[in-house]
Amino acid sequence: MAEFGNRLQPAVEALSHVPSVTCQPVSAQNTTITPVSAATPHDSHAGIVCADVPAAVDGGVQQSNSWSKLAADLTGHHASLKHKKIRVGAKVGDCRIKTVPRQLTCFVGRLDVNTTEEELHDYLTGVGIKGVVCKCLVPKDGRVFNSAAFRVSCCLESKDLFHDESNWPSGTELRDWVFYNRNGQA
């Protein structure tokens, strides 16, 4: 148990500098296990107990002092934004269900204003990229730009050709397309 307490010491020290929060290491004698479904933000988490403290009021808005908020503030990122590992099936042969191949989707920018979807499609197909789909991006709110931008998709098998800088005109910008959920999270 002493080894466990030693590993928690840096976390306890980090949390001791946060105002309005007191933290004590949990000892083996008084530890009770609470099922996750019954746990509250102030129950023991990872061997540290954060004492119940009143929520801070900032500008008339009540702020929560939950463990997850304090941990996110200390680490600088939020647990909801962490990327989860994706596992891809590898079974080849006779399978009763079918899959849809994933598409590579990118932002392509800094092209001449007069570039059309058809011209870009024909250019990329000529380079050898398969399954090309180009969609010209229209500026929002009446904004005007000196260059054209596109959302371009292609087959994943053409990834190396697509990302090869020598296949693009000088000055073209190419970035991965970021998809957002309806709630605004990537």
What pLDDT does 183 receive?
80
3-state helix, strand, coil in the chain (%, to 5): 30, 20, 50
Q: How far apart are CA 88 and CA 163, in angstroms?
A: 22
Q: How far apart are CA 68 and CA 77, in angstroms?
A: 11
Q: How far apart are CA 49 and CA 42, in angstroms?
A: 7
Parse the chain into domains and list their residue ranges. Answer: 2-75, 103-176
Report the percentage of the chain scoring pLDDT > 70: 55
The answer to whether the pTM exceeds 0.75 is no
Indicate the class that CATH gives domain 103-176. Answer: alpha beta
For the beta carbon of residue 120, count every other beta carbon within 10 angstroms. Answer: 19
What pLDDT does 76 receive?
54
Mean pLDDT (whole number) for 24-39: 48
What pLDDT does 49 receive?
43
Pairing of the two strands 56-58 and 61-63: antiparallel
Among 12-21, 38-47, 150-159, the range scoring the smallest mean pLDDT is: 38-47
For the beta carbon of residue 154, count every other beta carbon within 10 angstroms. Answer: 21
Q: At what angle do helices 67-75 and 2-16 cross, to 10 degrees?
A: 80
Closest CA to 172 of 133, 132, 123: 123
Is 107 in a helix, a strand, or coil? Answer: strand
**Higher pLDDT among residues 5 and 83, named by residue:** 83
What pLDDT does 96 receive?
85
Q: Which of 6-15, 74-83, 91-100 shows the highest mean pLDDT?
A: 91-100
Mean pLDDT (whole number) for 56-74: 52
What pLDDT does 23 receive?
47
Give the tokens for residue 165: 């800088």
Residue-wise pLDDT tens digits, 114-141: 999 999 999 999 999 999 999 999 999 9
Mean pLDDT (whole number) for 148-163: 95
